[in-house]
Amino acid sequence: MNRLSLNQITTKHWTLPQAVQGCVNAGIPAIGLWRDKVAETGLAESARLVRDAGLTVSSLCRGGFLTATGAGSRQAALAENLRALEEAAELGTDTLVMVVGGLPDGSRDLTGTRARVAELLAELAPHAGDFGVRLAIEPLHPMFCADRAVVSTLAQALDLAEQFPTEQVGVVVDSYHTWWDPQLAQQIARAADRIAAYQVCDWTLPLPPDTLLGRGHVGDGHIDFRTLTHHVTAAGYTGWIEVEIFNEQIWNTPGDQTLRTMIERHHTHVVAP
Amino acid sequence: MNRLSLNQITTKHWTLPQAVQGCVNAGIPAIGLWRDKVAETGLAESARLVRDAGLTVSSLCRGGFLTATGAGSRQAALAENLRALEEAAELGTDTLVMVVGGLPDGSRDLTGTRARVAELLAELAPHAGDFGVRLAIEPLHPMFCADRAVVSTLAQALDLAEQFPTEQVGVVVDSYHTWWDPQLAQQIARAADRIAAYQVCDWTLPLPPDTLLGRGHVGDGHIDFRTLTHHVTAAGYTGWIEVEIFNEQIWNTPGDQTLRTMIERHHTHVVAP
């Protein structure tokens, strides 16, 4: 339990105060926050609530979306990410999860789009350093390459991150997005202290009509969490294990019940010896 | 047109004789056959039909499914693949497309499953050599890793193929399965004369409820075919460009119309200067 964190998207229908109270009730010591939920409650009030509850904020979701073309869109993306960094700092987390964005509308220029991500990261990284927050690049599953994230593998995320100081840019290891990767073990070892977050949920089939929402509780699908956690731990990561699940059915389950399942699966599948 | 081939799944509701006649009518010089369609018409009759029509058989789909556990299942898989090799030889094609199979039911052992694929390939490869047919390992998109193919990247397919003589084991470059791969250009260059087949169709969104059927005509989606074809050509591949589309709507379109669209897109998106 001492490394377990609730990513609040897992209890999507809870407000931030409800999610904080849910963690306290369940004995979960950390929470990953989402910017829309923080905005709903107010930044200062959100920061106060988690602090007073004694919770650690394991991460803030999310920055990114760096792939639009044109000077105006680029400036807007930078400004938005600076706000996200500022919010992360105020909430007391050292990790801003970055979903980099997909191909711009009508574009087939994957190479150019990926290059643009690198350029904008270069502008953002020093600011992250100033805020004491790390940009955590999240490779998304290749099925989201066109529409959500042109960063598709851990190797690619590391190629980007390694252009910057470790304290400014890291990577997210998310089980759902990376479990299939033949290079996963070696890239996790390579990542070492670049690992800024470890997020878990399971690959379940069939995928639902909205493929974003196909993720299952740890243990309900095809991923070997014991081995994955072993690799992450062997790489030196001792941080939070954040449960992040996008799933309509789980969202419609009472939050307290979801947290009980999370805790049970954490023990039986993630940290079991 | 002189490199264009119809993979007959693209006109799923055509029998083999209809597909052969369709190619002749449209001036398409080659066809990729499927074993179930060949069986329906009969092996000898199928071979006669394509030969008499003057078509080249660019490939036979498909062998593989090498991941089941247990001696019985393993022997059954080997026997089935030997039959597929024999059919390929009789049909006069030098290429058997291999979809290696997903995780066995209830298994989370991805590493072990991948190792089993390598073992069975080692048993099959010499037989392929005897038949003068090449096993063409097809990496499938990572979203099919659990249920269809634990070979997910071109690099991984090449790691397997390179354990065997070039004439026995090659790889398939399929646009749909590989377009997202940050290592694609370098792995295609590495593949060189291991490229046994180049298959094309487009990545379109949203994915349909059955994610297998989400593929579009070349030009309808997010893939840059000109650049991809350039890489494949630069690697030395001068073989067939096979259009293979799984899509309910396209299957319900009259075959002749589908072939006209194929030809048009081939000119405007694939081989255009």
Residue B97, burial from CB neighbour count under 10 angstroms (0-12, 13-18, 19+): buried
Test A182 with B141 for CB contact under 8 angstroms.
Answer: no
- Specify which residues A196 forms β-bridges with: none
pLDDT at B109 over 90: yes
Test A222 with B153 for CB contact under 8 angstroms.
Answer: no
- Specify which residues A198 forms β-bridges with: A173, A241
Query: Could you tell me if the ipTM is greater than 0.90?
Result: yes
Collapsing DSSP states into helix, strand and coil, what is residue B265? helix
pLDDT at B221: 97
pLDDT at B271: 87
Rounded CA-CA distance A238/A248 in Å is: 31
Residue B184 structure tokens: 């694609």
pLDDT at B218: 97
Among residues 133-162 of chain A, which lie with CB inside 8 Å of chain B? 141-143, 145-147, 152-153, 155-156, 159
Residue of A176, A178, A205, A222 to mutate for B, most B C-beta atoms under 10 A: A222
pLDDT at B273 over 70: no
Rounded CA-CA distance B77/A8 in Å is: 46
| Mean pLDDT value across chain B | 97
Overall average pLDDT of the B122-151 stretch: 98
pLDDT along chain A (273 residues), means of 10: 96 98 98 98 98 98 95 96 98 98 96 97 98 98 98 98 98 98 98 98 94 95 97 97 97 98 96 74
CB B93 within 8 A of CB B58: yes
pLDDT, tens digit, for every residue of B46-71?
A: 999 999 999 999 999 999 999 999 99
Rounded CA-CA distance A199/A176 in Å is: 8
Interchain contact B203–A (C-beta under 8 A) = yes
* Residues of chain B neighbouring A181 (CB-CB closer than 8 A): 142, 152-153
B24: CB partners within 8 A, 6+ apart: B53, B54, B55
Tell me the nearest-neighbour CA distance from B154 into chain A, angstroms.
Answer: 11
pLDDT at A36: 98
pLDDT at A273: 65
Domains and CATH numbers, chain B: 4-270 (3.20.20.150)
Angle between helices A184-191 and A225-234 (to 10 degrees): 30
pLDDT at A271: 87
Residue A96 structure tokens: 């801003």
pLDDT at B137 over 80: yes
pLDDT, tens digit, for every residue of B161-202?
A: 999 999 999 999 999 999 999 999 999 999 999 999 999 999
User: Nearest residue on chain B to A115, judged by CA atoms?
Assistant: B182
